[in-house]
Amino acid sequence: RKEVEQDPGPFNVPEGATVAFNCTYSNSASQSFFWYRQDCRKEPKLLMSVYSSGNEDGRFTAQLNRASQYISLLIRDSKLSDSATYLCVVDGGATNKLIFGTGTLLAVQP
Amino acid sequence: DTEVTQTPKHLVMGMTNKKSLKCEQHMGHRAMYWYKQKAKKPPELMFVYSYEKLSINESVPSRFSPECPNSSLLNLHLHALQPEDSALYLCASSQGPGGPREPQHFGDGTRLSIL
C-alpha cells in the first residue's frame, strides 16, 4: 500500500463546478497535512495546510478525518486558473520527511 | 515570485562535466531540502539540511554531492551524471529544524538535461 494515495484523475470539470479530491494516508503517526498545487513544468506551491477542525480559504475547503486517515480538498466555483495538479502531502511521522501523493490532475474547461 | 531562488533555471551537461546547482533563501529558514522530480511523478526527497548539517541522505548516488555553506545557501554539486538523472531539481526550505510539521516552500527548480 502506498503511503499517500490519490486518484490521479484527470478530473475534467466545467467552469463554475464544484470538485472534490480525496487522499488517504497509511501512517497513523502523521501529524501535519498539506495540499500543494503544481502547474505544468513549475514548482509545487503550498495551497493550504489541513487542520483537524477543517479549514477554508476562499473557494477552497480542506478536511481531515484522522480516524479514517483521510484528507479532502473541495474547490467551489472552479476557475480556468485552477487547472493544475493537486498534491496531497503528509508528514512521515517518525521518518522526519514529507510524503507526497502522486497528485490529482484537474482540468477546468470553459 | 518565489522566495526560494534557484540557479540556473536550465542546465544541459555532458556525462563527464562537473556543474553545481545553487539555491538561496532569505526567510530565515533553518531547514533546506533537495528534491528530484521526473515528469508526471511527485518530488522525491534527496537530501535534508537542518541547521546547516546534513540530516537525511536518501541513499543518493555519490555523483550528487550537497553542500550548505551557510543558513541561506544550499548547493548541489554534480559530477559524472547519467542520462537517467535528467529531471527537475527542486530546492525547498522550511522554518524549523528539518521536522515535517511545517510546510516547505519550493524554488522554481533547475531543469537538468544530461546528454
The tens digit of pLDDT for each residue in A76-108 reads 999 999 999 999 999 887 666 889 999 999 999
Q: Is the Cβ pair A43, B90 closer than 8 Å?
A: yes
Q: How confident is the model at residue B102 (pLDDT cuts 50, 70, 90)?
A: confident
Mean of the per-residue pLDDT values of chain A: 93
Q: Report DSSP letters for A54-72, one per residue.
A: -EEETTEEEEEETTTTEEE
Please report residues of B whose CB lies closer than 8 A to that of A96: 48, 55-56, 98-100
Residues from A in contact with B at Cβ < 8 Å: 31-32, 34, 41-46, 49, 87, 91-92, 96-98, 100-103
Give the residue ranges of DSSP H helices in chain A.
Answer: none
Are residues A32 and B48, on separate chains, in Cβ contact within 8 Å? no
Q: Which residue of B has its CA nearest to A50?
A: B103
**Digit-coded pLDDT (tens) for A1-33:** 789 999 988 999 999 999 999 999 999 989 899
pLDDT at B1 over 90: no
Instruction: Tell me how far the alpha carbon of residue A43 is from its chain's centroid.
Output: 15
Interface mutation vs chain A, best among B104, B110, B111, most A CBs within 10 Å: B104
Q: Cell 525547498 appears where? A: B92
Instruction: Answer for the pair A18, A75: CB distance below 8 angstroms, yes or no.
Output: yes
d(CA B59, CA B61): 6
d(CA B48, CA A57): 30
